[in-house]
Chains A and B, each alone.
Chain A
Amino acid sequence: MQQTPLHGFHCQAGATMVDFAGWQMPVTYEGLVAEHHYTRQHASMFDVSHMGRVEFSGTDAEALLERLNTRPIASMTPGQSRYSHMCREDGGILDDVIVSRLEDRFLVVCNASNRAKLLPWWQQHAAGLQVEINDRTESTAMIAIQGPDAIELMNELLPIQIDDLKRYHFRAGNMFGNEYLVARSGYTGEDGVEIIFPARFAETAANMLISRTAGMDRPIKPAGLGARDTLRTEAGMPLYGHELSEDWDPISAGQAWVVGKDKDFIGREAIDRVRANPEKTLVGFEVDGKRTPRQGAPIESDGQAVGVITSGIKSPTLDKIIAMGFVPPALAEAGTGVRIALKATTLDARVVPLPFYKR
């Protein structure tokens, strides 16, 4: 089991640690619901160092990434980041990633669980091209500061200005000789930044963010993977292994917007065929009662199995049971009633628009 450069920080903070995609990660510190509310109301710090960080450089890096990604890459300017999917020839989603364009190279942030399969896939497609692929996951750390206070606080704490940074843009800075990148992005439905810096500087940086705000009315507090999952679910954001999988394509996953219209990429033809005749789409549900349906729970309509739940939580913000799942397009309209089967009972649910929560 791998440890992030912030492992010592988590232990000192009294985190409950869990195994996640081969990494020991904090699931909670104070408590999931408390951390969730704190992120929605103030600002939290998440260790996301388990995610893959891989650099692409060389004259053909742009062309390779253009071919690997469903969204356009060549049109990006230095300082810009873009959320995208990477697919197989048959349209199956290999991963969802964020591609950032630096002056002389690209940085791809991928899911921890997919890094091992992506590295050889990328190398295979780089054969014969002028591209160097360097895995920086272990030599760097990544934290996310998220919440309505995040930008103001980080603008004071960081030596560079970030409050004028546009969403999905980043800036490089330097602290005590340590180069870092600050991107205005996140996975919580809140405003905030994600920062990548050298692994050796991680603990110092995390302690600094916590200690320098400790005396304030609303200090930055650490939050775990548990709150990260409930926050992203409320925000209707897909998670690889739940809403996204190699077994289906971006259209079926309800993410048609990530498929660039006027570009070529691996999987394009297969995805166009699905687009012409989609069999399923992703919808949100509000569920009656106290019980929460989880991934894999069958969705029924008129006694027939019509789909499956991908994620379900008790929403701390809405104080309701919410879920996402796949249904045929004909059942995707808001207000449509369905039933969701658990082991020994069935729950009534209604389709609601995504996201469940918008800041």
Chain B
Amino acid sequence: MAVRKDCLYAQTHEWFLVEGNAVTIGITKFAADQLTDVTYVELPEIGTELAAGDSFGEIESVKSTSDLYTAVAGTIEAVNEALADQPGLVNEDSQGQGWMIKLQASDLTSLEKLMDAEAYEKFTAE
């Protein structure tokens, strides 16, 4: 399954697009497929401070609920308001219009633990 080459990936299936200190986060197509049709995404308030490894929200599908995690510490700058009415964007365009949060990172060193696209594709093929 092809994933974006310009992102980093967590074992919990979130993707991280890093542009300077701004990090955009969502979940991968692999994760969205496993969840099945997404019905609701609970996202944090702007200004929320998160540590690396914190849950930043919950995602509900027709059949299950899962936590969402950030691998990067930082402050929430924006959340994807479109998901409130169109949670299905996570299924349709997981690494585009289905993005979830943007945060201003306070420490980028934890990104070293993440996988690149190639490693993530291998990880999900296992």
Contacts and interface: CB of A to CB of B under 8 A. Distances in A.
Nearest to B36: A32
Nearest to A344: B42
A292 B36 contact: no
A230 B63 contact: yes
Interface in A27-48: 27-28, 31-33, 36
Contact of A27 (B36, B39, B40, B91): B36
A198 interface: no
A313 B63 contact: yes
Contact of B37 (A31, A290, A294, A343): A31
Interface string B59-84: 01111110000000000000000000
Contact of A292 (B34, B39, B91): B39
A16 B58 CA distance: 22
A290 B87 CA distance: 11
A226 interface: yes
Given A18-B34, A27-B34, A343-B58, A229 B40 contact: no
A314 interface: yes
Contacts of B58: 343
A316 interface: yes
B64 A294 contact: yes
A135 to B, nearest CB: 30
B36 A226 contact: yes
A32 B62 contact: yes
Interface size grouping (class) on chain B? 10 to 19
Contacts of B61: 32
A291 B91 CA distance: 18
Contacts of A344: 42
A32 B40 contact: no
A197 to B, nearest CB: 29
B34 A316 contact: no
B40 A316 contact: no
Contact of A314 (B33, B34, B39, B91): B39
Given A290-B40, A314-B39, A33 B62 contact: yes
B94 to A, nearest CB: 13
Contact of A16 (B34, B40, B42, B60): B34
A344 B48 CA distance: 15
A27 B35 CA distance: 9
B63 A32 contact: yes
Interface centre among A18, A226, A344 (most CB of B within 10 A): A226
Contacts of A294: 64-65
Nearest to B91: A31
B62 A313 contact: yes
A269 to B, nearest CB: 38
Contacts of A313: 62-63
B36 A31 contact: yes
B33 A316 contact: no
A16 B33 contact: yes
A60 B43 CA distance: 60
17 contacts: A16-B36, A28-B33, A28-B36, A31-B91, A32-B61, A33-B36, A33-B37, A226-B62, A229-B63, A230-B63, A292-B39, A294-B64, A313-B62, A314-B39, A314-B60, A314-B62, A343-B58
